[in-house]
Chain A
Amino acid sequence: MTEKGKPMNISPTEAEETLAAIQKISQKTRHAIASSGTFITLIATGVVWLIGFTCTQFLTGDILGYIWTGLSILGGILGTFLGFRMAPRVHNPSASATAKRAGIFWLLLILYGIATILIVRPTDGKQATMLIILFIMIGQLSMGLLVSFSSVWWALPITGLALIGYFLLPGIFYLWMAILGGGGMIAFGLYIHSRW
């Protein structure tokens, strides 16, 4: 419909051209996401979650703290290293300013996450884990403000899966998060890398 409310007439050729243009733009967007290094973050985080949550499901005691700390440090180093290796391909004058803002934001988000955990006073590990997951996903979605939501929408199904696991499958919550959360991130990262 046109803005005056009359039907808009377009020929089959014009419609075909418009659809081709839309397809080209979405293809370009996908290529941009694939070459931006998003998949590295996804795979690194996915591996950390897969191993960490599997261990949390089957192990107990202090060793879990060490495993999570070790995995988080390793994942962080790996993600940063691979991210830097990809950095020369990206030429953007405002990239460093944006990266600085994003870095400060993540630091503040960690503090807000800690404050929330202090106020909630979690009664078990699952509650604390869910809060951490929520804040990580808020961080990812916030990055959508800077870049675009098309590169961070995956945070929503992960959050949905986490909530389903927490409320409906508490007995296998950690295993659920390992396979569907961690595994899903790895699979999606690989898919972006190879197909987009």
Chain B
Amino acid sequence: MNISPSEAEEALAAIQTMMQKTRRAISSSGAYLFMIVWGMIWLLGFLGSQFLRPDLGGYAWMVLDTMGGIISAIIGIRMGRGVRSSSPGISGKRIAIFWLLLFLFCIATVAISFPADGKQYAMYIILFVMTGWVAMSMLLSFASVWPGLIITALALIGYFLLPGIFYLWMAVLGGGGMIALGLYIRSRW
């Protein structure tokens, strides 16, 4: 197929416009807020796991996860009010059912692999959250799959290669990375 330089330029410009539009759609959807909230929870939670006694670290996670769930629900409800869709109820309901089921599957995995250590449990949760992230990307926008894959890769590197500082690694790179990415999407996309 022969195409002229100007045709090629037009095609590239069209692709660039499309990418820009996708980015703006992600940015204006407010999805970055979830990233910032959960990035902060991971940052604090994993720092607790690294430096606090195991029982205190566990309580910290319980409190943080509960807070994260409440804040996410509030953000989700507020975002839902601003979105005009032909079937918002159906999509929202499907997403909620999916996350609930994924949570139950995560509990099943923990039960099957019992007993395990704290780092293993942390990795199960990370992997299930990231599986959910990938599934959401399939439903919403596949471009958003990349951060999930990068966080998964970082978690696996930390788990297998840096077990002594795994929690600190996850706090800084996992939690901090999510916050940074959320802020980047907010300001630049």
Interfacial residues, chain A to chain B (CB-CB below 8 A): 101-102, 104-105, 108-109, 112, 115-116, 119-120, 122, 127, 130-131, 134, 137-138, 141-142, 144-146, 148-149, 156, 159, 163, 166-167
Interface size class of B (residues with CB under 8 A): 20 to 34
Question: In the complex where A138-B131, A141-B98 touch, is A127 in contact with B113 (Cβ < 8 A)?
Answer: yes
Residues of chain A lying within 8 A (CB to CB) of residue B108: 134, 159, 163
Give complex CA distance A148, B94 in Å.
Answer: 8
Q: Are B127 and A145 in contact (CB under 8 A)?
A: no
Q: Identify which of B112, B116, B136, B156 contacts A166 (C-beta below 8 A).
A: B112
Question: In the complex where A115-B156, A127-B112, A166-B112 touch, is A149 in contact with B97 (Cβ < 8 A)?
Answer: yes
Give complex CA distance A167, B134 in Å.
Answer: 30
Count the A-B residue pairs with Cβ separation under 8 angstroms: how many? Answer: 78
**Interface set, chain B 22-56, CB cutoff 8 A to A:** none
Q: What are 8 A-B contacts with C-beta separation under 8 Å?
A: A109-B131, A115-B127, A120-B124, A137-B105, A141-B102, A146-B139, A159-B105, A159-B108
Whether, in the assembled complex, B152 has its beta carbon less than 8 Å from a beta carbon of chain A, the answer is yes
Residues of chain B lying within 8 A (CB to CB) of residue A120: 109, 112-113, 116, 120, 124
Q: Are B124 and A119 in contact (CB under 8 A)?
A: yes
Q: Identify which of A119, A131, A146, A156 contacts B112 (C-beta below 8 A).
A: A131
Q: Are A145 and B135 in contact (CB under 8 A)?
A: yes
Give complex CA distance A127, B130 in Å.
Answer: 22
CB distance from B66 to the nearest CB of A (A): 24
**Interface set, chain B 152-168, CB cutoff 8 A to A:** 152, 156, 159
Question: In the complex where A120-B120, A127-B113, A142-B98 touch, is A112 in contact with B127 (Cβ < 8 A)?
Answer: yes
Whether, in the assembled complex, B74 has its beta carbon less than 8 Å from a beta carbon of chain A, the answer is no
List the 6 closest pairs (A to B, CB-CB), nearest first.
A120-B113, A142-B135, A105-B138, A145-B139, A101-B138, A119-B123
Q: Identify which of A102, A109, A141, A145 contacts B95 (C-beta below 8 A).
A: A145
Give complex CA distance A127, B158 in Å.
Answer: 25
- Nearest residue in A to B119 (C-beta to C-beta)? A119
CB distance from B149 to the nearest CB of A (A): 7
Give complex CA distance A149, B113 in Å.
Answer: 28
Residues of chain B lying within 8 A (CB to CB) of residue A109: 131, 134
CB distance from B159 to the nearest CB of A (A): 7
Q: Are B105 and A112 in contact (CB under 8 A)?
A: no
Residues of chain B lying within 8 A (CB to CB) of residue A166: 112
Residues of chain B lying within 8 A (CB to CB) of residue A163: 108
